[in-house]
A and B are shown apart, each in its own frame.
Chain A
Amino acid sequence: MIARVRAMRPQELAAAAFRLREIGIVLALLVVIVFFGARASNFLSVSNWQDIAQNVSIVVVVAVGETMVVLTRNIDLSVGSIVGLCGYLVAATLAHHPGVPVEVVALIAMAAGLGLGLINGLLVAVARIPAIIATLATLAIYRGIDAEITGGKNITASQLPDRFLSLAASKPLGFPALAWIALGVAVVGAATLRFVPWARDFYAIGSNPDAARFAGIPAGRRIIIAFALSGALAGLGGFLFASRFPTLDSGAANGFELTVITAVVIGGVNVFGGSGTVLGVVLGAVLVATISNGFTLLRLDEFWKIFFNGFAIVAAVTIDSLVTRRLQEALRRRRAELLVPSPARADA
């Protein structure tokens, strides 16, 4: 196999590298399923996988938004706070006006999220604040607003209408409702990143910002759209979060951004932007959730999950950079063979 790889022309190597990441995650997923399946009796049970699907659905919805931001070589740390804030908005709206249909409340959450994302976009694209600092600040600011609105009076599940509470429990066709919603978001997200022109520009901006500007792509406006979408999907994530954990306090979804970024990085989205697919991110999210579920079933300490998330990010980034370095090496070696400067040619 190694001989074949070395013989491959760099073009095939690059195409293979493109697919490598998704294949890699699927392989890792199979290994994990076999490992935990053997050790924990109820790991392969339907109800367990329904739990996994349910837990992963919120991560996927928010990760699709985060992916769009990371593609443009930025990062959005504030998604955790947006989920918490919009989650509380959903609960508060339903508690005070139980009559409002659930779908409208979801749209309200997405609209609120969109607004918060827009602010992130303006801070990064217009005020020229580096994304890491801007979203670190808005992480704290949105969490503060969340605490101010909650003002110490948590909304408990008992105040929420049953129609909303039953959403998380319902499993149409055996597949949790939240997971259906996440699937829809992933499909729409993948389609957008594939077929919508301004979404394709995210890739160009992340891959080579100078060339993108040169090709006439309005980088600033595109980045604002990316942050706005990330905020909107985090808002929808807030809606799902509130239905899954109906008792909300101002600390809801604290640190959730780390889980989301783990899924995005493991999912093969390049930290420097320019490459990454929604399929990869969904697979990455499922892998993380499966391992976390496996840890629970093995009654491992809760905190190994946090350690695993961190370790996975570092490992994914290291593998990513080694693969690209190996590819450039192959390119240079191949070009060297072609370029044998023979003195004879000069005197022709």
Chain B
Amino acid sequence: MSLLELRGISKSYGGVRAVDDVSFGIEPGTVHALVGENGAGKSTLVKLVTGVIQPDDGDLLIDGEPVWIGDAQTAHRLGIVAMYQEPTVFPDLSVAENVFAGRHPRSRLHTVDWRGMEDEAMRILRELGVDFGPGTPVRGLGVADRQLLEIAKALSTNARLLIMDEPTAALSPNEVDNLFATVRKLRERGVAVVYISHRLEEVAALADTVTVLRDGRHIDTKPAGELSQGEIIRLMVGRSLDALFPKEEAEIGDVVFRADGLTRRGVFADISFELRRGEIVGLAGFVGAGRTEVARSIFGVDPLDGGRIEIEGRPFRPRSPRAALRRGLAYLPEDRLHEGLVQPMSISDNTSMAVLPALTAGGFLRPRLERSLARRFMQQLSIKATSPAQVVRSLSGGNQQKVVLGKWLAAEPRILILDEPTHGVDVGTKADVHRTISHLAAQGLTILLISSELPEILGMSDRVLVMREGRLVTELSRDEATQENVIQAAAGVTEEAA
């Protein structure tokens, strides 16, 4: 009987079916890989199982018994522990205390039993084959060591199900092998491990069973042996190209933006590409490939360690977003909630934020002008809101995304970088955004479209660049690009292994 069974689980956000009637079981003592494109519902499932959110319908069963996981503490008690890409730890405390925070082992006198705690921590660390001691302050540990710490913490609460979400994204090769050895030890102890990764060679090397998700639906669950990497890719892709992408024909002009040898130590290395006027260039790749990091460095948000950029023939040193905007370069951030909008402010305040210098006369605001600007984009992007003065916090996800788009279009950029523009929005908004993008390109705007949704990349782009682990691996023209060869490039799967 399986340790954890999902039966008919569904969850939707504001009209978008993130998870649709998913059922499969996870057996104790096995490594169960969960694969699928971005937005296929993987992270939503993780949040359902760890009690961060609750399903709309369907049941979760532990050892055959239906359970309701209302919050993270309940999940903990049931032995379900999740580990994210950047583990959350107490940087100021020692390793041992991180493992036992909030539930220190007590001596007879009800005091903290330091020796007992450190011995117990040492035992677990030894088992995981770790090279740092229980007394080491966590502040000095790298990501790999912090992950081992999370695993140690899970073992100390004798967790029965450990979910690892993209654990190897930031690890070096030998750190990955070390992690695999640890996972195999967990398996021998009867712990079930849900392993989520887009690195199919890791899935092949580690997993006992593989579950493939697509568009929030459960496609298949098979023993790893029976699925080659190529077959997995074929199950992953093949999303219906139903949404008709109205790609207007745009006349491609000369080179507007050239980057060569862009490098940021430890994140991405020698990225070189060109963008032409009126062209939409898709930038594909999995989470952690470094696409957002490249965009943020170009826009001056993060530092750049090397490489040169030219905009319209003139060199450009990205010192700050303000400098980039002045050169006609705009960036629509991936994290809409925290970086795209100022929630408590109105639509017109947000729309005019990036262009205030142009809208003000001698430093004085002109509210009428701002309101008309906001109305223009509300109408152009069909944003459903009562008035420009409405607070952005009260808008739906789709409308918020349109306001962010409007904000950057108001800056009248010549080059627009879009980072996951349609992530988590309803189908209607997605179509509106696509229509706007292709219309703008037709008018001569140059667009770099970062997206993890293959249909969107293939449907919208004149050219497709693919990145993996901080490098630009291939460039495909619109006709050459298919879902398979883009995913293969992104996952690093070569022809013969398919």
Report the separation of the CA atoms of residues A18 and B88 in the bound assembly, to the nearest whole angstrom.
Answer: 20
Q: A211-B101, A215-B102, A345-B173 known; A14 and B137 CB under 8 Å?
A: yes
- Does A65 count as interface, using CB distance less than 8 angstroms? no
How many residue pairs link A and B with beta carbons under 8 A? The number is 125
Q: Is the CB of A274 within 8 A of B72?
A: no
Q: Is the CB of B140 within 8 A of A201?
A: no
Main secondary structure of the interface of B (DSSP, over half): loop
Q: A214-B72, A339-B172 known; A274 and B90 CB under 8 Å?
A: yes
Query: B85-97 toward A: CB 8 Å interface, digit per residue (1/0)?
Result: 0001111110001
From residue 42 to 79 of chain B, which have CB atoms closer than 8 A to chain A?
A: 72-73, 76
Q: Is the CB of A212 within 8 A of B101?
A: yes
Query: A195-239 toward B: CB 8 Å interface, digit per residue (1/0)?
Result: 111001101101110111011110000000000000000000000
From residue 318 to 348 of chain A, which have CB atoms closer than 8 A to chain B?
A: 324, 327, 331-341, 343, 345-348
Provide the residues of chain A in CB contact with B106, threshold 8 Å: 197
- Does B188 count as interface, using CB distance less than 8 angstroms? no
Report the separation of the CA atoms of residues A17 and B104 in the bound assembly, to the nearest whole angstrom.
Answer: 25
- Does A11 count as interface, using CB distance less than 8 angstroms? yes
Q: Is the CB of A274 within 8 A of B92?
A: yes
Q: Is the CB of B140 within 8 A of A331?
A: yes
Q: Is the CB of A201 within 8 A of B102?
A: yes
- Does B470 count as interface, using CB distance less than 8 angstroms? yes
Q: Is the CB of A335 within 8 A of B266?
A: yes
Report the separation of the CA atoms of residues A274 and B89 in the bound assembly, to the nearest whole angstrom.
Answer: 12
Provide the residues of chain A in CB contact with B471, threshold 8 Å: 341, 343
Q: Is the CB of A212 within 8 A of B102?
A: yes
Q: Which of A11, A270, A333 contacts B140 (CB 8 A)?
A: A11
- Does B228 count as interface, using CB distance less than 8 angstroms? no
Q: A11-B132, A216-B102, A341-B471 known; A206 and B143 CB under 8 Å?
A: no
- Does A128 count as interface, using CB distance less than 8 angstroms? no
From residue 102 to 152 of chain B, which have CB atoms closer than 8 A to chain A?
A: 102-104, 106, 110-112, 114, 132, 135-143, 145
In the complex, what residue of chain A is closest to B142 when comparing beta carbons? A335
Q: Which of B102, B201, B266, B492 contacts A339 (CB 8 A)?
A: B266
Q: Is the CB of B469 within 8 A of A341?
A: yes
Query: A1-21 toward B: CB 8 Å interface, digit per residue (1/0)?
Result: 000000001111111011000
- Does A250 count as interface, using CB distance less than 8 angstroms? no
Q: Is the CB of A208 within 8 A of B88?
A: yes
28 CB-based A-B contacts, threshold 8 Å: A10-B142, A14-B136, A14-B139, A14-B140, A15-B135, A15-B137, A15-B140, A195-B114, A196-B111, A200-B112, A201-B102, A203-B93, A207-B90, A208-B89, A208-B90, A211-B89, A211-B90, A212-B101, A214-B72, A216-B76, A216-B103, A270-B92, A324-B139, A335-B142, A335-B266, A337-B266, A338-B142, A341-B470
**Apart from A200-B104, A327-B140, what 11 extra A-B contacts exist at CB < 8 Å?**
A10-B140, A14-B139, A194-B112, A201-B101, A203-B92, A212-B101, A217-B102, A327-B139, A332-B265, A335-B143, A336-B266
- Ranked nearest first, the 3 interchain pairs of A and B with the lowest CB-CB distance are A14-B140, A336-B266, A274-B92
A interface residue numbers (CB < 8 A to B): 9-15, 17-18, 194-197, 200-201, 203-204, 206-208, 210-212, 214-217, 270, 274-275, 324, 327, 331-341, 343, 345-348
